[in-house]
Homo-oligomer: A and B are copies of this chain.
Amino acid sequence: MGATKTDLFTKQQNEIAAMAKALAHPARIAILQYLVKKNACVCGDLVEELGLAQATTSQHLKELKIAGIIQGSIEGASVCYCINPKVWKQYKELFNTFFKDVDLQASCC
């Protein structure tokens, strides 16, 4: 045991959970906010910005890249990361849909 039983759930449920998981760490939120703020591509100053070790930062970047929400391209000696607008939009829409239709009044307990 210990592993998530993904087969019990729908594809959509697993997808939403996977997206949420990508956002489920403050460092990754900070990275995304930084990338959004700078708009232009930013590279290794993330290490300095975050205060985490280089290896740790790289790992978080990798997870965000696997989730698809950011993309990186080699820029000489360094690597240029930025938001993947397409996937960003997907995230936005999925969460929007998820949160949308609830009758906020009807709290029964």
Which residues of A approach B to under 8 Å, CB–CB?
4-6, 8-10, 13-14, 16-17, 20-30, 33, 36, 39-41, 50-52, 71-73, 75, 80-85, 88-89, 91-92, 95-96, 98-109
Residue in B5, B52, B85, B108 whose beta carbon sits within 8 Å of that of A105 in the complex = B85
For the complex, give the distance between the alpha carbons of A55 and B17 in Å.
21
- A72 CB contacts on chain B under 8 angstroms: 109
Q: Work out how many copies of this chain go into the complex.
A: 2
For the complex, give the distance between the alpha carbons of A29 and B16 in Å.
7
Residue in B85, B99, B103, B104 whose beta carbon sits within 8 Å of that of A107 in the complex = B85
Are A107 and B82 in contact (CB-based, < 8 A)? Answer: yes
